[in-house]
Amino acid sequence: MPAGADARRVTGSYLQPLLEAAAARGVSAASLARAAGLADGALCAAPDTLAAGDYVRLLAVGAELADDPHFGLHVGERVKLGTYSVYGLILLSCRDFAQVFQQTLRYEQLAHDLGRSALHLDGADAQYEWISNYPAASRHLAESVFAGIRVFSAWLAGAALPASQMAFGHPLEADGAEYQRIFGVMPVFGAATHAATFDASLLAWPVPNADVGLYPVLRQHAEQLLARRGGDGAGTGAGIVALAHAAIIQNLAHDRVCLAFIAADLKLTPRTLQRKLSGAGTSFQQVLDRARHALATDYLRRPGLSLVDIAFLLGYQEQSAFSHAFKEWSGVNPGAWREQAA
C-alpha cells in the first residue's frame, strides 16, 4: 500500500467500537454516514476497511450527534479482542508485556493507519507515546486510542493495571471525572505529546492466558499482511531503537541478545540492523547497555533477588561482569546502589 495520506486505512473491526458507542447514544450508522459526508448505506454493514480520514471525521461528528463530550473515551471502552484483528491475536499469544509492546510497534498498522506507537525507557520508568497521523483531528481520536489501550491491556493482564501518568497534547475541554474513572488518574493536558508513563517493571508482567504456541503461525501471517501493504513497521529511527530495545528485554534472561539473534528476531540482517541504529544515532551495544541498566535498577529494588540472580537475568555469565558494567553505568557497584536505594 502506498504511504500517502490518501492510502491510510482503518479496518472494519477497528471501526466497530465507534458504531457501537454511537448506537448506545441513539445515533444510527446512517446518521453518522450522512454527517461525515459518506455515501448512503456506507456504514449499514461494517466495511472491510475505511479511509482513515473518514474515521477521524466519524469520531468528530459522532461526538456532536451523541452530544457526548467524552465520546472518544467511550469508543475506547468498547474495544475488545476482535477490534485489532490479527494484531490482537498476536498480542494474545505474547508471553509478557515487553513482547506485547514489541509486537505493537511492528503490527498496529494492521488495525489502523491513524498513528504510530513508540516506547521509551529511562531508568526505572517507561513511556508509551502515541504519535498521531492526524494532529489536527479532534481530541476524541487520541482519547479513544488511550482508553482502548487501557481496556485491552487490563484484559490481557487479567487484572486492573496500576494507574499510569497520563498526558495529552490537547487542552482540557470536558469534565475530568470520566478521565479519572477510566484511567485512574487525571491526565495532564496541553503536554508536548500524547503519552503514558509507567514503572518499567510492568514490562515483565506475564500475559496469563497467552497461547504462545500460536505466536509463530500468527507472526508469519502478520508478516505476509505487512508485505502486501508495503510497510516494515521500523522505518523511523525512534521505531527501530524501540523495537531493538523491546526485543533485547524479551530475550535477556534466555542469553539470546547477540546482534545476530536480535536482528533475526526483527527480520533484519545484522548489517541492516546496525545501519538503522547508526542512522538513529546509536548502536546495538548502546541499546543493549541501556536495556540492561534499566532492568538492573528495577531488579536491585527487589530484596528477594541476589546479585547472582540479577546477573543471570541480565544475560551475564558471571556476577563480576555484571558488577563491572553496572559501575560503569552508575558510578557505584550494584551492592552500594542497592543500599542507597533502600
pLDDT at 5: 46
Q: Contacts by 243-246 with C-beta closer than 8 Å and gap 24+?
A: 243/102, 243/105, 243/106, 244/273, 244/277, 244/284, 244/287, 245/119, 245/121, 245/287, 245/290, 245/291, 246/98, 246/99, 246/101, 246/102, 246/105, 246/119
pLDDT at 47: 81
C-alpha 68/C-alpha 77 separation (Å) is 14
C-alpha 170/C-alpha 193 separation (Å) is 9
Tens digits of pLDDT across the chain (342 residues): 333 445 789 999 999 999 999 999 999 999 999 999 998 888 987 788 899 999 999 999 999 999 999 999 999 999 987 888 888 889 988 999 999 998 998 889 899 999 989 988 888 899 999 999 999 999 999 999 999 999 999 999 988 888 889 999 999 999 999 999 999 999 999 999 999 999 999 999 999 888 888 888 788 888 877 776 654 444 445 567 767 877 787 777 677 788 999 888 888 899 999 988 887 778 899 889 888 887 888 788 888 889 998 888 888 888 999 999 998 888 889 999 888 876
Residue 122: beta bridge partners? 125
C-alpha 99/C-alpha 45 separation (Å) is 34
pLDDT at 112: 93
Site of grid cell 475506547: 76
What cell was used for 332?
557505584
C-alpha 88/C-alpha 30 separation (Å) is 28
The structure's pTM equals 0.68
Cβ-Cβ contacts under 8 Å for 87 (sequence gap 6 or more): 103, 104, 107, 108, 110, 111, 222
For residue 143, give the H/E element and its range.
helix 139-157
What cell was used for 32?
453518522
pLDDT at 230: 56
Cβ-Cβ contacts under 8 Å for 101 (sequence gap 6 or more): 117, 119, 128, 203, 242, 246
Among the listed residues 131, 105, 99, 100, the one whose alpha carbon sits nearest the alpha carbon of residue 254: 99
pLDDT at 247: 78
For domain 234-342, the question of CATH label 1.10.10.60 is answered with yes
Count CA atoms closer than 13 A to 194's CA, side-chain side.
22
C-alpha 318/C-alpha 302 separation (Å) is 20
Cβ-Cβ contacts under 8 Å for 257 (sequence gap 6 or more): 248, 251, 288, 315
pLDDT at 1: 35
Domains of the chain, residue spans: 234-342
pLDDT at 3: 39
Write the single-letter amino acid at 157.
A
C-alpha 167/C-alpha 183 separation (Å) is 11
pLDDT at 239: 62
